[in-house]
């Protein structure tokens, strides 16, 4: 078994029921998207994640002390616990007896455990800082886009209002033009009718005079 798996195995007991949820949450892209699109109003309850376990196990492996230290002691306690024949206190004491046979004191075990705790605390601080930086970058980017969209929406809304006003003006003008067109058409028809009547009147007068001249001037 690779050392990373060994380190993970002494801290995590596999939970088959959680595997599906872990698989879904193991994608950092998914986690980031969930955080940005739906910011939680309260603290989120998490669970061990394969990706992060790999990272933390890698840190511990890189700084693993030589010889029998806290890791070997914890593994020994777990091996004894699997026998189900001892209470917890006896499990720890039995594992410590094995450690003493290798000249390992309880002070050195606690010291090595505290060292690993310090390393993990530094890793947690670094991770939180990176996560906060990423979140701030995303928030800044989204805020900039939000501002641009708000300005654009405001401009478009103003343009819509202006177009509505122009539409009403044009509709009113169109109605007036239709009325004016009807008036002009009626006026033209009336003028045509009057012109025709006037024309016919003069033509009849001239034709009548022609008839009378032909009759009286022979």
Q: Please give the pLDDT value at position 42.
A: 64
Question: What is the average pLDDT value for the chain, to the nearest integer?
Answer: 83
CA distances 75 to 4, 9, 90, 106, Å, are 14, 9, 15, 15
Using pLDDT thresholds of 50, 70 and 90, give the confidence band for residue 4.
Answer: low
- In SS3 terms, 155-188 reads as HHHHHHHHHHHHHHHHHHHHHHHHHHHHHHHHHH
Burial class, 57, CB count within 10 angstroms (exposed 0-12 / middle 13-18 / buried 19+): buried
pLDDT tens per residue, range 177-216: 999 999 999 999 999 999 999 999 999 999 998 998 988 9
For residues 78 and 59, is the Cβ–Cβ distance under 8 A? no
Q: Break the chain into its structural domains and give their ranges.
A: 3-150
The position carrying tokens 């004491």 is 93
pLDDT tens per residue, range 96-119: 999 999 999 999 999 989 998 998
The position carrying tokens 């009057």 is 194
DSSP state of 182: H
The span from the CA of 165 to the CA of 96, in Å, is 88
pTM of the predicted protein model: 0.51
Angle between helices 106-216 and 28-37 (to 10 degrees): 60
Assigned token pair, 173: 């003008």
Using pLDDT thresholds of 50, 70 and 90, give the confidence band for residue 92.
Answer: very high
């Amino acid at each position: 078994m690779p050392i990373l798996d060994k380190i993970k195995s002494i801290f995590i007991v596999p939970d088959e029921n959680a595997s599906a949820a872990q698989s879904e949450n193991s994608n950092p892209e998914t986690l980031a998207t969930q955080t940005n699109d739906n910011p939680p109003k309260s603290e989120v309850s998490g669970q061990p994640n394969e990706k992060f376990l790999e990272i933390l196990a890698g840190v511990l492996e890189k700084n693993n002390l030589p010889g029998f230290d806290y890791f070997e002691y914890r593994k020994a306690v777990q091996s004894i616990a699997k026998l189900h024949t001892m209470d917890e206190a006896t499990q720890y004491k039995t594992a410590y007896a094995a450690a003493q046979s290798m000249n390992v004191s309880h002070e050195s075990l606690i010291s090595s455990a505290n060292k690993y705790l310090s390393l993990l605390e530094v890793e947690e601080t670094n991770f939180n800082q990176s996560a906060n930086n990423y979140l701030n970058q995303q928030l800044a980017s989204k805020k900039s886009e939000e501002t641009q969209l708000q300005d654009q929406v405001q401009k478009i809304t103003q343009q819509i209002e202006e177009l509505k006003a122009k539409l009403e003006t044009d509709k009113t003008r169109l109605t007036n033009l239709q009325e004016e067109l009807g008036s002009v058409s009626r006026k033209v028809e009336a003028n045509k009718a009057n012109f025709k009547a006037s024309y016919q009147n003069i033509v009849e007068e001239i034709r009548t005079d022609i008839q009378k001249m032909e009759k009286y001037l022979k």
